[in-house]
């Protein structure tokens, strides 16, 4: 093999894998030695992009997976600039900033000034009908409660209950954060999901004071954004997130991109070399591998390594969404909100609803409305047994009750994302560090990353793809 051109293989062609390929190529080309190399990206499904899936139809831009990202997170903005896509960035509609939350079968306006569910303006919080007077008093105790010392992890739910009380946790924060993880906050790791909360407690003692202080940096944080989107917390691309995937594929023209090819094993063979085994039984010996599949898949690929069982333990929740179009005349209210959240135990099937075409002005043609209902979260996993018709009917029932929409949708599309939301357990960081240490000893040029490791958001996936690409490049260029 020593006479062959070095060959690096990336397994999984979601955003993490494509970013890893992009930055690995960039880094190896920048080396200046002109050493030839070969990169392959191997993707099991027929197309690239993983969870990202935009459908453009009849003037609608429909996101079946992720729909946007946090503007303040640099890696995706940097990648957009690297790909010449910055002019495609677009922010949310400034006229649809309100969000609602269900309580007692009614929609209540989310008090202004909440950041990730944490109050940063006390007057609107104290006026909200969402929380009882006792619940508000308990939340305000965060201002005086001492901080917890120590470095150990704890669950996100335990932390938030400790700081703000159970009512704020259950009625506001959990439904909001559930949109990101679809998880049970009492099972999710604080250090792996919202380390900034813990850092605020350590620095400011109070979470509310810490959040207020961090808000002051917002202008600074958005300085890197194109002027057109500087005032938006969430940002996407005008023609959908698929344009990011398409631009990456375009930039990877000289890379060997293989879709519809599944990998079954990555193993160490004689002389410390790495062999990749494919579903059809073919084998290839390569000089380096980056695995970016969900962790339960990575655990199977690396099953010869005992420590891979740590990856198999990370639970993934299944979610679905129902996207429906309506005529504007069939919507009996003003479209001045981005959507609403449904806490657990309110008696509905849907967990949230985005008024997509109000939130994103590019998402629907004139006179039409696009709406997206979310189904499934930790503890609510019976939905996969339901047919598409049942899912649509339950979503329609909920929006009829809550929004008064009775019209037949122009179209209704169901997307099932099975085992798609990783649930970082308490002590996740420590478990991952141990796994990586053992992997480095057993297979030094095999790196594993992706949404199951250090962040599920698109910017975090891009960051992780870039980090492992640079790590592999450092090893092979040394």
- Does residue 52 bind ligand FAD (CB under 6 A)? yes
- By CB under 6 A, tell whether 293 contacts ligand FAD: yes
CB 14 within 8 A of CB 478: no
How far apart CA 477 and CA 360 sit, in angstroms, is 44
Q: Which of residues 430-459 bind ligand FAD (CB under 6 A)?
A: 450-451, 456-458
d(CA 210, CA 41): 42
Q: Which of 12, 91, 240, 288 binds ligand FAD (CB under 6 A)?
A: 12
Q: Strand 60-63 to strand 69-70: parallel, antiparallel, or no bridges (unpaired)?
A: unpaired
Q: Which residues contact 477 (CB under 8 A, 6 or more apart)?
A: 28, 31
Instruction: Decide whether 337 or 461 has the Cβ nearer to ligand FAD.
Output: 461
Please state the separation of Cα 68 from the chain's center in Å.
Answer: 9
Q: How far apart are CA 267 and CA 455, in angstroms?
A: 27
Rounded to an integer, what distance in angstroms lies between the CA atom of residue 14 and that of residue 3? 31
Assess 420 for contact with ligand FAD (CB under 6 A): yes
Residues 31 to 50 in contact with ligand FAD, rule: CB under 6 A: 42-45, 50
* Span interacting with ligand FAD, options 65-73, 333-341, 342-350, 434-442, rule CB under 6 A: 65-73
Closer residue to ligand FAD (CB): 208 or 241: 241
Min CB(11)–ligand FAD separation in Å: 5
Select from 156, 211, 248, 263 the one that contacts ligand FAD (CB under 6 A). 263
Strands 54-57 and 60-63: antiparallel
In angstroms, give the least distance from the CB of 12 to ligand FAD.
3
Number of residues that bind ligand FAD (CB under 6 A): 35
Cβ pair 358, 372 in contact under 8 A: no
- Torsion from C-alpha of 170, 182, 192, 339, nearest 10 degrees: -70
Closest by CA position to 115, among listed 188, 203, 211, 192: 211
Question: How many helices and strands, by DSSP H and E, does the chain display?
Answer: 18, 22
Judge whether 364 and 357 are in contact, CB under 8 Å. yes
Selected binder of ligand FAD within 8, 9, 10, 16 (CB under 6 A): 16
Of 235 and 473, which has the nearer Cβ to ligand FAD?
235
| Contacts to ligand FAD from residues 121-150, by CB under 6 A | none
Largest CA distance in the chain: 74
Tell me the two tokens of residue 438. Answer: 């053992």
Is residue 21 a contact partner of residue 36, using CB atoms and an 8 Å limit?
Answer: no
Q: Are strands 263-268 and 274-278 parallel, antiparallel or unpaired?
A: antiparallel
Query: Minimal distance in Å, beta carbon 397 to ligand FAD?
Result: 21
Position among 7, 8, 13, 210 found at the interface with ligand FAD (CB under 6 A): 13
State in angstroms the smallest separation of the CB of 306 from ligand FAD: 20
67 binds ligand FAD (CB under 6 A): yes
Closest CB to ligand FAD among residues 128, 464:
464
- Closest by alpha carbon to 299, among 312, 313, 314, 316? 312
- Please choose, out of 63-71, 145-153, 397-405, 430-438, the segment that lies near ligand FAD by the rule CB under 6 A: 63-71
What CA–CA distance (Å, rounded) separates 245 from 455?
A: 19
Q: Which residues make Cβ contacts (< 8 Å) with residue 223, sequence separation at least 6? A: none
Nearest to ligand FAD of 42, 392 (CB atom)? 42
Q: Between residue 188 and residue 217, which ones bind ligand FAD under the rule CB under 6 A?
A: none
Among 10, 15, 247, 324, the residue binding ligand FAD under the rule CB under 6 A is: 15
- Site residues for ligand FAD, 315-334, by CB under 6 A, read 319
Looking at the Cβ atoms of 69 and 237, the one nearer to ligand FAD is 69
Q: Which of 40, 90, 193, 292 binds ligand FAD (CB under 6 A)?
A: 292
| Shortest distance in whole angstroms from residue 314 CB to ligand FAD | 13
3-class DSSP assignment, residue 45? coil
Q: Is 423 in the site for ligand FAD (CB under 6 A)?
A: no
Contact positions toward ligand FAD, by CB under 6 A? 11-17, 42-45, 50-52, 65-69, 262-263, 292-294, 297, 319, 417, 420-421, 450-451, 456-458, 461
């Amino acid at each position: 093999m020593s006479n062959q051109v070095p060959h690096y293989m990336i397994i999984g062609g979601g955003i993490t894998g494509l970013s890893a390929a992009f930055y690995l190529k960039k880094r190896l080309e920048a080396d200046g030695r002109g050493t030839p190399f070969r990169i392959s990206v191997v993707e099991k499904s027929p197309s690239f992009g993983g969870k990202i899936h935009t459908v453009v139809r009849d003037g609608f831009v429909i996101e079946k997976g992720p729909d946007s990202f946090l503007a303040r997170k640099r890696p995706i903005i940097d990648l957009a600039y690297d790909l010449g896509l910055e002019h495609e960035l677009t922010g949310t509609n400034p006229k649809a900033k309100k969000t609602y939350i269900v309580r007692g079968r009614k929609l209540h306006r989310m008090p202004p000034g909440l950041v990730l569910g944490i109050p940063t303006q006390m007057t609107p919080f104290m006026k909200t009908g969402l929380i009882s007077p006792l619940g508000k008093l308990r939340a305000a105790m965060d201002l005086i409660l001492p901080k917890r010392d120590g470095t150990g992890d704890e669950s996100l739910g335990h932390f938030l209950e400790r700081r703000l009380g159970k009512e704020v946790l259950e009625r506001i924060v959990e439904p909001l954060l559930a949109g990101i993880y679809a998880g049970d906050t009492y099972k999710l790791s604080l250090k792996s999901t919202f380390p900034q909360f813990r850092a605020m407690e350590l620095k400011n003692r109070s979470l509310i004071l810490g959040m207020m202080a961090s808000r002051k940096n917002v202008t600074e944080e958005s300085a890197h954004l194109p002027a057109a989107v500087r005032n938006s917390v969430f940002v996407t691309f005008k023609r959908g997130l698929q344009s990011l995937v398409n631009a990456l594929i375009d930039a990877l023209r000289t890379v060997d991109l293989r879709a519809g090819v599944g990998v079954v094993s990555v193993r160490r063979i004689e002389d410390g070399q790495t062999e990749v085994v494919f579903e059809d039984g073919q084998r290839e010996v390569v000089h380096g591998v980056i695995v970016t599949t969900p962790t339960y898949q990575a655990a199977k690929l690396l099953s010869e390594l005992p420590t891979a069982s740590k990856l198999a333990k990370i639970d993934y929740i299944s979610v679905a969404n129902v996207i429906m179009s309506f005529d504007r005349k069939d919507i009996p209210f003003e479209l001045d909100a981005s959507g609403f959240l449904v806490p657990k135990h309110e008696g509905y099937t849907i967990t949230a609803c985005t008024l997509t075409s109000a939130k994103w002005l590019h998402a629907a043609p004139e006179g039409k409305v696009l709406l997206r209902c979310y189904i499934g979260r930790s503890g609510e996993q019976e939905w996969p047994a339901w047919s598409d018709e049942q899912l649509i009917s339950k979503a329609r029932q909920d929006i009829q009750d809550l929004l008064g929409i009775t019209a037949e949708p122009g179209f209704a599309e169901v997307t099932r994302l099975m085992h798609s939301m990783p649930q970082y357990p308490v002590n996740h960081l420590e478990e991952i560090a141990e796994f990586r240490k053992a992997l480095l000893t057993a297979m030094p040029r095999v790196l594993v990353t992706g949404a199951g490791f250090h962040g599920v958001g698109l910017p975090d996936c891009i960051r992780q793809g870039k980090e492992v690409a640079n790590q592999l490049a450092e090893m092979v260029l040394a």
